[in-house]
Amino acid sequence: MPPIQTEPARTPPPRSDRTHRRRRTPATAAAGPLPRGLRAAASRAWPALLAYAAVRCLGVAAVALRADGDDPSLGTMLAGAYDAVFYTHIAEYGYAAPMTGSCTVQGPLCKYAFFPLYPALIRGGSTLLPLPAAQVAWGVAVVAALLAAWGVYAVVERVADRRTAVVATVLWGIAPHAMVESMAYTEPVFTALCAWSLYAALGHRWVTAGVLASLAGLTRPSGSAVVAAVVLAALWALFTSRRRSASGEDRGRPDRTGPLLTAVAVAPLGWFAWFGWVGHRAGDWRGYFEVQERWGSTFDGGSFTLHRVADVFLKLPLNLNTAVGAATVVAAVVTFAVCMQQRQPVVLLVYAGMLLLIAVGGAGYFHSKARFLLPAFPLLVPAARALAAARPATMHALLGTAVGLSTAYGVYLMLVWPHSP
């Protein structure tokens, strides 16, 4: 794994200068033009992206080395299995075309459970490149995973520091079910859109935050998490701005009412548009929920999840994926409480809390709960802070052990576990 920091040693400036720089840098980054900010973020993020690429390549290589003649090919496992089959079929034939053998139980609207942005990207890529749709789907996911890792780094650096951001990026690359980040699934695209939307919101670029949140709402049903985060953050900023204007505190500052109201109006558009379209196709405003019920996915407030977590302690035998899923859910709940105690920005807390509520409150697919929590990267910040504060030898030893465990678990998910990761 690349070193965490590569800056050359230099004589530290006086304390007053260091303090001045710490206070000036975030403000400059927030006020500067977006392209300049992105260039600066890219120049600082390369160690994190290199480390992320290394751990993900290690995970894929381990699967390739452990596979034997009885297993599907590596290309099939990464780009042509489980949900990837539906996305490529939608990209090639659309939603209305029948899908023989795969929708026998869910009915004619079964493909409408899959949101449209990822298939649209696959279709666009297939139009431009002379490649099969499955290969394009995998390529889109890989590029999106790198953009997502960059977004994770950018957000965490903004709310913590560079070292913590690098560690958080690596942790995202080795989280439970991180193997999905190297597959033709929506998690990479979704996390990239959410991370950069949150980054824009933290920098008060409200129109950008709203547009990206709207696109995230066209990617997964849990897009409601980033929509809620951006809308609530924009409304709170609008409220505080009006209050300061009334008291004269904002005198001389530019009026942000327009961008804030634009974010509030634009952010929910994608999510509501898809629900409305599926309702129209089904002839019932509850159409999307009915499609999900046919897939065995409902919302019961957490009763199903609680019973499955209890089963880990009360029932035997137990498979590895159930144990990891239960541990991930419990750890996510505890970590969210720590995030609140550490006073993360409200926009991150709302986003992570909504994702946690959706994952824990949903009934069905317990084996995928850890995957559903992959986009909730703000939950990694407390662990990243602790590791970044440790001695380098301790940090590298712990991260190295975690990388090994994650790689082994990825092999288990791909070659042993018989269901979708």
pLDDT at 109: 86
pLDDT at 12: 47
pLDDT at 103: 74
Number of domains in the chain: 1
Between CA 349 and CA 339 the distance in angstroms is 7
pLDDT at 251: 61
Between CA 132 and CA 189 the distance in angstroms is 19
Between CA 59 and CA 415 the distance in angstroms is 12
Is residue 69 included in any domain, yes or no?
A: yes
Q: What is the pLDDT along the chain (421 residues), one digit of tens a residue?
A: 444 443 344 444 444 343 333 333 333 333 344 456 667 767 889 999 999 999 999 999 999 999 887 788 899 999 988 899 999 999 999 998 888 766 766 677 889 999 999 999 999 999 999 999 999 999 999 999 999 999 999 999 999 999 999 999 999 999 999 999 999 999 999 999 999 999 999 999 999 999 999 999 999 999 999 999 999 999 999 988 777 766 666 665 667 889 999 999 999 999 999 999 999 998 888 889 989 888 888 898 899 999 889 888 887 678 899 999 999 999 999 999 999 999 999 999 999 999 999 999 999 888 899 999 999 999 999 999 999 999 999 999 999 999 999 999 999 999 999 888 8
Is residue 31 included in any domain, yes or no?
A: no
Is residue 13 included in any domain, yes or no?
A: no
Is residue 70 included in any domain, yes or no?
A: yes
Is residue 27 included in any domain, yes or no?
A: no
pTM, two decimal places: 0.88
Is residue 33 included in any domain, yes or no?
A: no
pLDDT at 313: 81
Token pair belonging to 267: 């952010």
Is residue 337 included in any domain, yes or no?
A: yes
Coil, helix or strand for 224? helix
Between CA 65 and CA 225 the distance in angstroms is 38
- Other C-beta atoms closer than 10 Å to the C-beta of 287 total 19
Domain that holds residue 193: 42-415
pLDDT at 249: 64
Between CA 291 and CA 395 the distance in angstroms is 46
pLDDT at 248: 63
Between CA 366 and CA 26 the distance in angstroms is 40
pLDDT at 33: 44
The H-assigned helical ranges of 175-205 are 187-202
pLDDT at 156: 97
Is residue 6 included in any domain, yes or no?
A: no
| Phi, psi dihedrals of residue 362, rounded to the nearest 5° | -80, 140
Token pair belonging to 43: 């120049």
pLDDT at 419: 87
